[in-house]
Amino acid sequence: MLGKKLVTAQKRGETRALCLGLGMVACSMMMYFFIGITIVPFYTKSVWTTETVCKVLKANIKDKVFSPKSEGSEDEEIFPYPCLQVWVNLTASGQEVMLYQTEDTLERNPKCSYVPDKLENSKEVKARIETIASNFKKYQTFPCYYDPGGTQTNVILSRLYPSKGLLFAFLWPTLMFTGGCLIIVLVKISQYVSVLSAWQ
């Protein structure tokens, strides 16, 4: 009687462990799919792939400009903000080019190096842009990214999705997939050992 209870409990435990392993594998596949349709296209579309050194030539704050309306947004996201323009000397080619914060900055407003998020407090936006401008004047040399193919003559300060960020995004689903496969393998080994012991 006790043996039957132990066998039943063992089968239930194996079933639960097997479900857990399959669930982990399924979740990791969904995470792979989500990363593949969201992050990977932005990473492959970016042409600013080579890192170099940029030296600030001038950082000026122009008159206020209006942020263009974002695509697909229903509400009007047009608000005025000071336009920061940073021009740098590209070490790789020696050209004088304009610097943008990220790839998204160029798409949102190609006239300005920095586009703030929509904030109600205009003084806070102005103070932030002035701080960024002073930091560029203080730190003259810094790493930046440019397009080695030459399709884009400007440079960006940082990539939205760098190589390390992409590898980090794939790390968690890979660990989950490995853990799920390991659980399934251990359950199958346990079932095989149980059948072998019962046969003997």
* pTM score of the predicted model: 0.68
State pLDDT tens for residues 181-197. Answer: 999 998 888 878 777 77
Q: What are phi and psi of 158, to 5 degrees?
A: -150, 150
**pLDDT, tens digit, for every residue of 35-63?**
988 888 888 888 888 888 999 998 888 87
Evaluate whether 87 touches 57 at the Cβ level (below 8 Å): yes
- Percentage of residues in the chain with pLDDT exceeding 90? 24
- The values of phi and psi at residue 129, to 5°, are -65, -40
CA atoms of 89 and 155, how far apart (whole Å): 10
